[in-house]
Amino acid sequence: MSQLIPPHGAEKLNPLFVYDPAENERLRSEAHSLASIVVSSATAANAVMLGGGYFTPLTGFMNKADALSVAQSMTTTDGLFWPTPVLNLVEDAGDIKPGQRIALKDPNVEDAPFLAVMDVEAVETFDDADMKLMTEKVYRTTDREHPGVLAFNNQGKVALSGPIKVLNFSYFQSEFPDTFRTAVEIRNEIAEHGWSKVVAFQTRNPMHRAHEELCHMAMERLGADGLVVHMLLGKLKPGDIPAPVRDAAIRKMVEVYFPPNSAMITGYGFDMLYAGPREAVLHAIFRQNMGANYLIVGRDHAGVGDYYGPFDAQTIFDEVPDGALQIEIFRADHTAYSKKLDKVVMMREAPNHSKEDFVLLSGTKVREMLGEGIAPPVEFSRPEVAQILMDYYRSSAG
């Protein structure tokens, strides 16, 4: 059997979900007697990712020294390569003290059920300069108009750090039973498919024809036998297409336009940071942990607005120390349909083309067309995919 790529910084995955039913039940009942806090959505998403093994080899939430070190140099104080702080930030820790076990409650599910138990090792406060440093380093801006900056700075400045045990996967497992997968499950499924070289494609949007062709292109050039489409199922910014609609559109595309046993549709429970380059590196760690050999990184990967240059999320990988990551990056340019060549190409690979030679539509324009029940041109979007999106826009307008 082929050997899958090892997880990040460890020989085997370290999922923090309590899989033993009796132990899970025991911790749930213990949680009732513990001091509890309703955590932020970002903290809940971190807990879900820790639970699923995506944050291997971390054992819980970072302390102040590790968070600042990671922000500054992309390594923890003991030298683990990691691109973004993984924190449990609160406004006020109340009477919580180091050495105490507490229960973390889920802000995204009705009645805030217990999400995890945590053994608090430290309760530390970041000052304004610390918050500014982390924000600047991770997001490359302190502009509150940036949705990631706003979310990060709205949680509070008190960090509770220490190991956690995760009791459930929030709303992701119940709302997306066919799509939500832990890193453990994806590794197992890759092995079941018998794939030996796997490409991962990150998306928070439906996949148009250019995305589809980019996946085919990457698989062909890398000699890969499997593709994992890995969609973000967590909190997005207003105006983004909801996960169930994206899911249906992507499934239809794979069903019709990919050979059998060549692609898996999966999703993960995380809130988008919109942190551009730093988030691209985090995405690479997720994908290495789930068993992918390559991650496609395109233009403005994980970006928002004009905060990052089009290829910053690719060039940041030049700063990753040798050997720090085993996954490799497939660097993609903007892909579009060439009228001259009658196929989708990477724009940098199409000499003697002017803008007019490509079918280029802005996201805004596409949303307008779909909202009016007009299918985008077949060069831009597969008709089966466009139909699902038109139905969504029509129903949401009504």
Positions marked catalytic: 204-205
Are the CB atoms for 293 and 198 separated by under 8 Å?
yes
Return the structure tokens found at 168. 């459930």
Residue type, 280: A
Decide the pairing of beta strands 358-359 and 335-338. antiparallel
Strand residues in 192-334 grouped as ranges (E)? 198-203, 226-232, 263-268, 294-297, 328-331
With residues binned 3-state (H G I as helix, E B as strand, rest as coil), the percentages for the chain, rounded to 5, are 35, 20, 45
CA 382/CA 208 separation, integer angstroms:
7
Are the CB atoms for 198 and 292 separated by under 8 Å?
yes
Cβ atoms < 10 Å from Cβ of 256: 12
The 3-state DSSP class for residue 368 equals: helix
Return the structure tokens found at 57. 């080899």
**Greatest extent of the chain over all pairs of C-alpha atoms, in Å:** 70
CA 247/CA 6 separation, integer angstroms:
28
Return the structure tokens found at 363. 């996201």
Residue with tokens 């932020």: 40
Decide the pairing of beta strands 60-61 and 226-232. unpaired
